[in-house]
Amino acid sequence: MHVCEYSAYQGYICIFLFNKQTVTLLRGEPGRHGDNLSESASQRSRRRRCPHQPNPSSALTPSYSGFPPFSSTTRTEHPVLRTKKERENTNSTAAAMAVEGKSKVLVIGGTGYIGRFMVEASAKAGNPTFLLLRKSSAESANSHRAKLLQGFKDAGVTFLYGDLYDHKSLVSAVKLVDVVISTIGTESVEEQTRIIDAIKEAGNVKRFFPSEFGNDVDRVHAVEPVKSAYEEKAKIRRLLEAEGIPHTIVSSNFFAGYFLPSLAQPGFLSSPPRDKVIVLGDGNPKAVFVSEEDVGTYTIRAAEDPRTLNKIVYLRPPANILSFNELVALWERKIGKTLEKIYVHEEAGDHTNFEIEPSFGVEASELYPDVKYTTVSEILDQFV
């Protein structure tokens, strides 16, 4: 199977044309899913980067929306994926109250981009929610991080101070919960062996979600630099299977808050283009766009569902499966204008060119038809 993937990796947005064995690097921002608990600030500043990556200090700027964190000079925040649902969920106090019988949930990496949506979804669902973070992170003077953490506190989230390299703190945190969700960054995926060791020692965890939240690494063929990252994720999968750790993997495809505000264009504009667009290949391969809030919602729903045990949960909301041509056409209808198309003539695959077999996976919108997911159309309406 050949797949075209847009992925954030070490500072660049990489368009991978796996069948052509080529890689196009588009200038973007550092690709960190979550707070890297195994690194200090100075270590993060020295981490290996792509050759022409922008100033690494932008990687340390927490983001309220988008994947991964953006610097304020690169892209403005887009709370559009949350606006509609926040209007329907104004009573945060009631949402934060723990419902009797709900699983206790620990999020590791919850101050990073996708992690914060896990924390919020868990708290809103009424799960007793715990966040593992370094004390230095909690005491940071960064105003964005302080606002984020205050929001967590207001939602009733319990902070547990710890570190991936501190086994004792990991075990202590894990012993308090039923579900562990890891959203640590791509550069630290292999460090999840430490989480697995803690889970084994604690002996009480009913479900572990490793840091995935992208493509199914067992069913795509990647080239470097993403190939190595996929191999590390695959190793974690095999270790979970070998150790008999109860787990669920979430394959969420494209983060809508990252790609749709710019219509997946190079440079990641603050709003979709109104004059011309770059089209990869013939524009016909299908992609799946899922709002980050919905990724959190589906993940928390799956955490207590026996149907998802030791399975891959694929997020393929029907209304959000579009080819690039369909996406552009939808935008053109909304603005009443035909855009100039600039084609980059490379053949590419898509997110839906394999069937989800019951032996290894389930589809989230089928499992949870009551979840009113945010559609691509609704997101684009915010930019008209």
Distances (CA, A) of 113 to 65, 67, 184, 243: 7, 6, 10, 29
In tens, the pLDDT along 38-90 reads 444 334 333 333 333 333 332 222 222 322 332 222 333 333 344 444 434 43
In tens, the pLDDT along 216-250 reads 999 877 777 778 888 999 999 999 999 999 999 99
Instruction: Quote the pLDDT of residue 54.
Output: 33
Looking up tokens 């020295």, which residue turns up? 46
Is 17's pLDDT higher than 80? no
- Identify the CATH number of the domain defined by range 4-381: 3.40.50.720
Spatial distance between the Cα atoms of 16 and 35, rounded to a whole number of angstroms = 26
CA 193 to chain centre: 20
Spatial distance between the Cα atoms of 287 and 191, rounded to a whole number of angstroms = 30
Catalytic residues: 233
| β 158-161/254-255 pair status | unpaired
Instruction: Quote the pLDDT of residue 142.
Output: 85
Looking up tokens 């060791």, which residue turns up? 197
Average pLDDT, the chain: 78
Is 150's pLDDT higher than 50? yes
